[in-house]
Amino acid sequence: MSPATRVMEAVDETQAVKRPAFEVIYDWVTTVDHKKIGIMYIVYALIFLVIGGVEAILMRIQLAVPNNHFVSPQVFNQLFTMHGTTMIFFMAMPILFGFGNYLVPLMIGARDMAFPRLNAFSFWVSAFGGFLLYFSYLGGSGLYAAGSAPDVGWFAYAPLTAKVFSPGHSTDYWTLAVLLSGIGSIGTALNTVTTILCMRCRGMKLTKMPLLPWLYLVMSGMVFIAVSPLTAAQIMLMLDRYVGSHFFDTQAGGSAVLWMHYFWIFGHPEVYILILPTFAFMNEIIPVFSRKAIFGYPAMVAASVGIGFISLGVWAHHMFAVGMGPAGNTFFVFATMVISVPTGIKIFNWLATIWGGKVIFSLPMMFAIGFLFQFLIAGLTGIMLSAAPFDWQLTGSYFVVAHFHYVIVGGIIFSLFAAFYYWYPKATGRMLNTTLGKWHFWLFLIGFHLTFDFMHIPGILGMPRRIYTYEASRGWGTWNFIIGVGAIFQAIAVIIFAYNLVRSYFKGDIAGHDPWDAWTLEWATPSPPPVYNFAHDPTVNSRRPLWDLKHPEEPDSDFE
């Protein structure tokens, strides 16, 4: 009997026993099970996705017509600050860590993360950061006046964050929230690296590990290097604000550019920290629904590691207009352009995986295909922005907003939706509804392109970002109106998706342990998997253990 069959024998321990609500809540709050923590990350991130989305809609209403008075300038500035901070630190990071938490131990045949209690701590500390960020609406003068949410931008450039320009406590809330989120991220990264390096099942050499854990390994390494400087910068900013140090306090000789370096040495790798896990989802989903092994596994690993390294050397391409001079500018142009090579390799390898396959247009695959086209565009506008002189025009304009929403919404959010449709059956035992899923896909796709395609144009026509209004004579009105309509489409699509998540939990079709006929270890467990994942520790001989099991006549292990 092969090891994988033995794994499938695992007893279903999730017998439905009706328990009092208090016990269920207590169980979730005190859990150290990686799957429950993963689900909590995902649920909390979804809540913040909705909050951040509402903020986005409010901004789009304000900008839909020129000279609008829907919100005041200060409220608008709070909205874009909260939207950015929420989406990066309390939506994208936690949701990706959530998927990692859930999937990494399952895919490497482990029973849990290496440090289950650190795992729970990281979750709660990061969730508390999100709570604190929104508590700012009540803090300070908030209960009595318009609210004291931060309005310094998610990038919080010095010296606007200095006490003299940002009195009150809104900036303190922002700093603490981001600091806590950073501590949580570093804890989870440490945990993920240790888990992947020390807890793989028998036979799973690094070269036989699926690509998802590989990408989480690279991503977690980057979190150490990138998030630590951010955490340091938050502490320096707090010292400036509380004990009167002068790191970033320009009125006393501090440096505004120093903050930019600290921020972007986090901020740019952050983009790749977010995109690597989404590449990981693609690496699992595209092969399964093309019915082929991933094309060029070693190149995919090498490209990921390459992206990890190079991304640490490109941060100042956010600073082409800071006056670094020709030497600095050319260096960062080069590093930024070079990173397109490993990224291109990934896109070409996915193309080659599809090539000669039998593509099944299931919902995960539809979102994956959307991802491929949109990420291609995101990459190409990225190349435009890497040409520093072109960037002198485009940086700080709506073109940049369009570009990075192609990365973050067109890339990350699309691949997350793909991941939801793909792994929801594993986590809940039930399938998501296909009809609702198709409505979700098409509405979101159309809304996405209406919004972010057209957002390139006002940028080219000279519209800066972060402005709460504009004159009708500038000719940006039509474009902003279309952008607003697209945003509404996206909102409706997300509502359908949320409804689908809840409805299918109770009424969805029973999934079975392997609804997609997939090949990695998580599909060898029951759905949902029992607390300890595997009744017997699995042993693997190849990157696709279930393929070997299903196709004993041509096992992968013969070809790798």
Partner 1 sequence: MLGGLALTATAHAGSATSIFSPAGTPAQSIFSLSMLVLSVTAVIFLIVAGLLLYAILRYRHRPTDTDREPPQIYGSNQIELSWTVIPILIVVMLFLTTTRVILGTEHIPKPANALDVTVVGHQFWWEYSYPKYGVVTANELHVPVSDPASMTPTYLNMTSADTDHSFWVPRLAGKMDLIPNRINTMWIDPQQPGLYLGQCAQYCGTQHAKMLLRVYAETPAGFAAWIKHQQQSANEDFTGNPEAAAGKEVFMHNACINCHTVRGTVATGRFGPDLTHLASRDTIASGAFPNNAANLRQWVDDPNSMKPGSLMPSMHLNQHDLDLITAYLITLH
Site residues (CB under 8 A) for partner 1, limited to 118-137: none
Please say whether the beta carbons of 217 and 301 come within 8 A.
no
The CA distances from residue 345 to 72, 83, 217, 301, 348, in Å, are 46, 32, 19, 11, 5
Q: Which stretch binds partner 1 (CB under 8 A): 13-21, 112-120, 154-162, 526-534?
A: 154-162
Query: From CA 382, how far away is CA 148, in angstroms rounded?
Result: 35
Query: Site mask, partner 1, residues 484-523, x = CB under 8 A?
Result: ----------------------------------------
- Judged by CB under 8 A, the chain residues 351 through 380 that form the site for partner 1 are 351-352, 354-361, 369, 372-373, 376-377, 380
Which of 25, 57, 53 shows the shortest CA–CA distance to 497? 53
Give the residue with the Cβ less far from partner 1, 105 or 379.
379
Query: Site mask, partner 1, residues 242-281, x = CB under 8 A?
Result: --------xx-xxxxx------------------------
Q: Which of 391, 514, 522, 548 binds partner 1 (CB under 8 A)?
A: 391
Q: Does 57 bind partner 1 (CB under 8 A)?
A: no
Fill in the amino acid letter for 179: L
Alpha helix stretches (DSSP H) within 156-296: 170-198, 211-243, 256-290
Q: Does 115 bind partner 1 (CB under 8 A)?
A: no
Query: Site mask, partner 1, residues 445-484, x = CB under 8 A?
Result: --------x--xx--xxxxxxxxxxx--xxx---------
Q: Does 323 bind partner 1 (CB under 8 A)?
A: yes
Query: From CA 426, how far away is CA 99, in angstroms rounded?
Result: 12
CB neighbour burial string for 504-518, b if at least 16 within 10 angstroms, e if fewer:
beeebeebebbbbeb
Q: Does 326 bind partner 1 (CB under 8 A)?
A: yes
CA angle 361/362/363 to nearest 5° reads: 120
Query: Site mask, partner 1, residues 159-188, x = CB under 8 A?
Result: xx----x-----------------------
Shortest Cβ distance from residue 528 to partner 1 (Å)? 27
Query: From CA 156, how far away is CA 175, in angstroms rounded?
Result: 9
CB neighbour burial string for 391-422, b if at least 16 within 10 angstroms, e if fewer:
beebbbbbbbbbbbbbbbbbbbbbbbbbbbbb
Give the residue with the Cβ less far from partner 1, 111 or 465.
465
Q: Does 387 bind partner 1 (CB under 8 A)?
A: yes
Q: Which stretch binds partner 1 (CB under 8 A): 27-35, 124-132, 321-329, 523-531?
A: 321-329
Query: From CA 263, how far away is CA 155, in angstroms rounded?
Result: 7
Shortest Cβ distance from residue 383 to partner 1 (Å)? 6
Q: Does 388 bind partner 1 (CB under 8 A)?
A: yes
Q: Does 224 bind partner 1 (CB under 8 A)?
A: no
Rounded-to-10 torsion of CA 411, 76, 52, 413: -10
Shortest Cβ distance from residue 212 to partner 1 (Å)? 18
Query: From CA 315, how far away is CA 151, in angstroms rounded?
Result: 24
- Token readout for 126 is 């990061």
Fill in the amino acid letter for 149: A
Q: Does 325 bind partner 1 (CB under 8 A)?
A: yes
Which residue's entry shows tokens 């604190």? 132
Q: Which of 179, 345, 401, 524 binds partner 1 (CB under 8 A)?
A: 345
- Judged by CB under 8 A, the chain residues 394 through 423 that form the site for partner 1 are 394-397
Q: Which stretch binds partner 1 (CB under 8 A): 37-45, 195-203, 263-271, 347-355?
A: 347-355
Shortest Cβ distance from residue 309 to partner 1 (Å)? 16
Which residue's entry shows tokens 């989903």? 285
Shortest Cβ distance from residue 56 to partner 1 (Å)? 17
Give the residue with the Cβ less far from partner 1, 194 or 469.
469
